[in-house]
Amino acid sequence: MRAVTIRDGALSVEEHPDPEPGPGEILVAIRAAGLNGADMLQRKGAYPAPPGSPADIPGLELAGEVSARGPGAERFEPGDRVMAVVGGGGQAELAVVHERAAMPVPETLEFPQAGGTPEVFVTAHDALFSQGGLRPGERLLVHGGAGGVGTAAVQLGRAAGARVTATVRNEGLRADVAGLGATAIGPEEYVEAGPFDVILELVGAPNMGGNVKALASGGRVVVIGVGAGFKAEVNLVALMGKRGTIRASTLRARPLEEKAAASRLVEKEVLPLFEAGVLTVPVAETFPLDEVEAAYERFAKGGKFGKVVLLTG
Amino acid sequence: MRAVTIRDGALSVEEHPDPEPGPGEILVAIRAAGLNGADMLQRKGAYPAPPGSPADIPGLELAGEVSARGPGAERFEPGDRVMAVVGGGGQAELAVVHERAAMPVPETLEFPQAGGTPEVFVTAHDALFSQGGLRPGERLLVHGGAGGVGTAAVQLGRAAGARVTATVRNEGLRADVAGLGATAIGPEEYVEAGPFDVILELVGAPNMGGNVKALASGGRVVVIGVGAGFKAEVNLVALMGKRGTIRASTLRARPLEEKAAASRLVEKEVLPLFEAGVLTVPVAETFPLDEVEAAYERFAKGGKFGKVVLLTG
């Protein structure tokens, strides 16, 4: 198979041996694979793949068709459309995925969208509800509302009955984010727009001082992105006064059973909202596999609405 | 009634009008009232009493006998031994307490102990279980294990089946803390003694860098004391790698219904452990009401095992 390959920080598309599905695994003929912030770090060597994942093939999410099943795998039939979060190896023509980590692709999603769905919707759902405990009627702030996780979080918050505000750096994208159901504001306006019960931090440490100020009593800051910096200064007295929580999380490094559990929750609570037409997956741009370098450049440039997706087959 | 009175940072015992119990309230003839860190701050003017509490009479906990009941109060009979967390006003001969905030004094406790029980046991129970979600078999670190909240937390963690480690600055007190069921270590030894699932921070910001390092995957730091400083630097990438949580809390400023709920939980889950002889309240020293200045000095000096208690009647 052909796969995006990282070698000393350079990206290329190279031949690799076809992977073979082990017990409980399925082989997926990948059609689309979304890019994520972690890919940019992995390319720079700053975020090595977790054990059990290909060390040199990036890609944390994929969508495609089941082309073979390993011993005991029976959740899907060959030909079924599936999507999954993986520890790596998604940006390739083939990948093996444990069947418990895979989800069916909702009928309303074409492959470009489906390839950009699992990582951001599993991440956003886990962050908002499992980590942040978001409840109906609460006030949610999403920092970085125009990106992949941001657009997923805005829609999920809205669908769950929260009142959603999102910071969007690029003024030209604020109407798009507002169209998803958020009040879209500039990146410096969030403290006065508060207080918020849950703050989803996708930007990083520079926001943390303001986040504590913008927090409602009993509020939770969930940190899952730190692209803008990771050394945060936190005023503990202010946080005590708010009886506030700062929780940090990543999806990628979790063990299989936790990823599988997160996928089951998304199947139960999120996929029906795709079928009902409540959720969409904004795709900013797609690139064929051979133009992976351009795809990464587009992602790194930022200022996009939704996902950058590689079309792998 | 006579009551400890704060006037421009000075402590005295002065005459105040007797308080009268309103609807649902009881009047308590106070016998003993523990000192707490917040009293030291309030004396300095750094921690004003919350609305509804006497502005100039300190004291967050008390134990005594019910001497009168307001309209509709029926949980206790006159003469019953009760103890309670209050927003202020505990260091006096009399105080009114909402009957839902009061708890019966376990038969195994004399008044000096009972006066030093509610604040630290409600605080420690709330911090460990309601905030930190401590579970049997987990590893608990208590920073500052020899003080009032520390000795309560060590015992509660141990009673709940956690493996407890406690930092104790004063080397001479480590055997006492070990006697409560903890591995007692020096204040610089905790990172290498980890990892810990729950860390109870009673000291402050200087520990926060080490706390994140000492945290187990999925671990929770609960911050309820910041005497040593409140400006913490937090490495968010390290916290993400641990999928860790920092939660800060205070009891004093909570609304009545939350204090009442915390008291009900302590009645249900803690008081039976006093009756069973599993828990004790170490009292470092008692002082009569008129020696309040000496009592505060003793508290502020630190290096004590357990509570400093004022005997008010």
Q: With CB atoms and an 8 Å threshold, state whether B230 touches A230.
A: no
Is residue B300 scored above 80 in pLDDT? Answer: yes
pLDDT for the residue numbered B251: 85
State percent of chain B over pLDDT 90: 88
Nearest CA to A31 among A58, A64, A80?
A64
Structure tokens at A133: 């405990």
Q: With CB atoms and an 8 Å threshold, state whether A223 touches B240.
A: yes
pLDDT for the residue numbered A52: 83
Banded model confidence at residue A46, pLDDT cuts 50, 70, 90: confident
The model's pLDDT over A52-106, given as tens digits with 9 standing for 90+, comes to 889 899 999 999 999 999 999 999 999 999 999 998 999 999 999 999 999 999 9
The model's pLDDT over B84-98, given as tens digits with 9 standing for 90+, comes to 999 899 999 999 999
Structure tokens at B301: 């000096």
The backbone torsions φ and ψ at residue A165, rounded to the nearest 5 degrees and listed phi first, read -120, 145
Strands B307-311 and B283-288: parallel
Q: Where are the domains of chain A?
A: 2-117+276-311, 121-248
Nearest CA to B313 among B120, B111, B117, B118?
B111
Kindly report the nearest CA distance between residue A118 and chain B, in angstroms. Answer: 20
**Number of residue pairs across A and B with CB atoms under 8 Å?**
90
Is residue A253 scored above 80 in pLDDT? Answer: no
B202 touches chain A (CB under 8 A): no
DSSP states along B248-307: E--STTS-HHHHHHHHHHHHHHTHHHHHTT-----EEEEEEGGGHHHHHHHHHH---SSE
Is B28 within 8 Å of B52 (Cβ atoms)? no
Nearest CA to B140 among B188, B185, B182?
B182
Is B89 within 8 Å of B53 (Cβ atoms)? yes
Q: With CB atoms and an 8 Å threshold, state whether A246 touches B247.
A: yes
The backbone torsions φ and ψ at residue A77, rounded to the nearest 5 degrees and listed phi first, read -100, 150
Banded model confidence at residue B49, pLDDT cuts 50, 70, 90: confident
Nearest CA to B89 among B178, B210, B3, B189?
B3
Q: For the domain made up of A2-117+276-311, give the CATH fold.
A: Quinone Oxidoreductase; Chain A, domain 1 (3.90.180)
Question: What is the three-state SS of A290-302?
Answer: HHHHHHHHHHHHC
If one counts every other C-beta atom within 10 angstroms of the C-beta of residue B45, the result is 10
If one counts every other C-beta atom within 10 angstroms of the C-beta of residue A77, the result is 9
pLDDT for the residue numbered A202: 93
Closest residue on chain A to B201 (Cα): A236
Candidates 3.50.50.60, 3.40.50.300, 3.40.50.720, 3.40.50.920; CATH matching B121-248:
3.40.50.720
Distance (Å, rounded) from C-alpha A2 to C-alpha A11? 13
Nearest CA to B128 among B102, B160, B103?
B160
